[in-house]
Amino acid sequence: MPEGPQTLKNRNMKPSFFDLTHDDLKVVLKEKGFSPFGATQIFDWVYRKWIFEPALWSNVSKGAREFLSEHYDMSLLKIVWNGLSKDGTRKFLVKMVDGQTVETVAIPARERLTLCVSSQVGCAVGCTFCHTATQGLKRHLKPGEVVGQYIAVQDWLNKNTLEEKLTNIVYMGQGEPLHNYENMKKATQIFMQENGLALGQRRITLSTSGLVPAIEKLATDFPTVNIAISLHSARNDVRTELMPINKVYDIERLFKAIKQIPLKAHRRITYEYLLAADINDTQEDVDALAKLLNPKESKINLIPFNEYPGSKYKRPTEQKIMWFLDQMIKKGFTCTIRTTKGTDILAACGQLKSEFEKVNLWNKDAGPVVIPSIASSVLQNQSQIPQ
Ligand code: SAH
Ligand code: SF4
């Protein structure tokens, strides 16, 4: 693809401050001869006081402030569009420095306000029911672009609402978080940093389609957070139809890996189960699911399929959904139905899709935007399983 002006500009871009964990910042400061303890004060200014201008960090040495403003980009991701659903769900389209966009959705529920963040632009896993999959993978998000979704949305809420505060995060937006393992690990460390946003381990949920080698590393290598597994069927043939990843990492391999996740820290694992009419909603499916899962160690979250234009599956009837729920409860499981939120603004699960072509319309002053190469969408719907 020929290089557009935006691509050239990015070459000279400074690294984002928001890519740095607390430990990274300590190393950077130390290397430049500043006190590494300054990292704690700087995290306090940025992530607690919400002051992004180094000149204003009064208890940080002048040299460190000048160094950071000169060498790091402190700017927030740009919200180029937002929409409010009738049910209170707010969808935001955020733009990265290279012009790519992802969606991030704030979902209110009881006393919580959960942000559903994206981990990649598009996704390579190619689940046959997922709208995001139709884009293929465009690229991984950097840690600062994941944390940046939270900062940009909270900043927007501070300015536009009466003190709405994000309380929880789910990695359930666009992308497969474990395919972007190292960046999501860093983003999680930043979210949880004690003297920063300090989100507790129960406030973050990582959802994965079942990337076995990465699941095997979670126990020892990733901050402890809630884990949700997109199971969608306990039968290999049906799961393969829904999720081509199952050809490589089938149910047996997946559960061997899940068993390595220490249950004490993670309490119970949530299994997401998409319900698609006449695909995985029969008595045989109920029995297979009950046989596979242990009710003491699992929670089941049923997600009735969200239809979108061109989708190949159908949502089961309400009666069928309730029947499935009832069957699982009778078999001793904690089972819930994920209420569909934000359908009127296409923000429900599986309806997230970057409408990057529209960025120019929404943001006329942003200059030329590099439209990603069509070549990347060749990945779409193929079993291009990340290793
Ligand atoms: N890639 C990760 C996280 C993002 S998807 C994963 O697959 O787990 C978040 C959840 O939405 C997953 O359980 C996914 O299977 C589900 N989902 C995707 N498309 C959907 C659709 N059209 N209707 C209902 N749920 C969907
Ligand atoms: Fe990717 Fe998750 Fe969509 Fe599957 S459901 S294509 S893993 S985003």
Q: What is the pLDDT of residue 222?
A: 95
Q: Round to whole Å and give the CA distance between 137 and 176.
A: 10
Q: Which residues are identified as catalytic?
A: 103, 349
Residues having CB closer than 6 A to ligand 1 are 129-131, 172, 176, 207-209, 230, 272, 274, 303, 305-306, 349-350
Is there a contact between 228 and 208 (Cβ–Cβ < 8 Å)? yes
Of 103, 118, 119, 123, which is best to mutate to test ligand 2, by the most ligand atoms within 8 angstroms of its C-beta?
A: 123
Given a cut of 60, whether residue 23 has pLDDT beyond it is yes
Ligand sitting nearest the alpha carbon of 176: 1
* Spacing, Cα 319 to ligand 2 middle (Å): 27
Q: Round to whole Å and give the CA distance between 171 and 191.
A: 12
Q: Please give the single-letter amino acid code of residue 250.
A: D
pLDDT tens per residue across span 175-211: 999 999 999 999 999 999 999 999 999 999 999 999 9
pLDDT tens per residue across span 265-314: 557 899 999 999 999 999 999 999 999 999 999 999 999 999 888 899 99
DSSP annotation of 253 reads: H
Ligand sitting nearest the alpha carbon of 128: 2
- Which residues are CB-contacts of 211 (< 8 A; sequence separation ≥ 6)? 176, 178, 179, 245, 249, 386
Q: What is the pLDDT of residue 360?
A: 27
Section 357-378 average pLDDT = 27
Lowest-confidence range among 51-55, 195-199, 204-208, 374-378? 374-378
Q: What is the pLDDT of residue 213?
A: 96
Given a cut of 50, whether residue 376 has pLDDT beyond it is no
Alpha-carbon torsion 151, 303, 301, 270, what sign?
Answer: negative
Q: What is the pLDDT of residue 85?
A: 87
Provide the total of helices (H) and of strands (E) in the chain, helices listed first: 14, 12
The residues facing 208 across adjacent strands are 229
Model confidence, pTM: 0.88
**What is the atom index within ligand 2 of the atom nearest the CA of 207?**
2
Cα dihedral 202/105/381/95 (nearest 10): -120
Neighbours of 101 (CB within 10 A): 25
Q: In order of start, what are the domains of the chain with their CATH numbers?
A: 15-71 (1.10.150.530), 78-379 (3.20.20.70)
Of 238, 303, 341, 352, which is best to mutate to test ligand 1, by the most ligand atoms within 8 angstroms of its C-beta?
A: 303
Q: Round to whole Å and give the CA distance between 96 and 366.
A: 11
Percent of the chain with pLDDT over 70: 83
Lowest-confidence range among 10-24, 171-185, 213-227, 359-373? 359-373
Q: Round to whole Å and give the CA distance between 217 and 203.
A: 21
Ligand sitting nearest the alpha carbon of 133: 2
Task: Tell me the pLDDT band of 8, cut-offs 50, 70 and 90.
Answer: very low
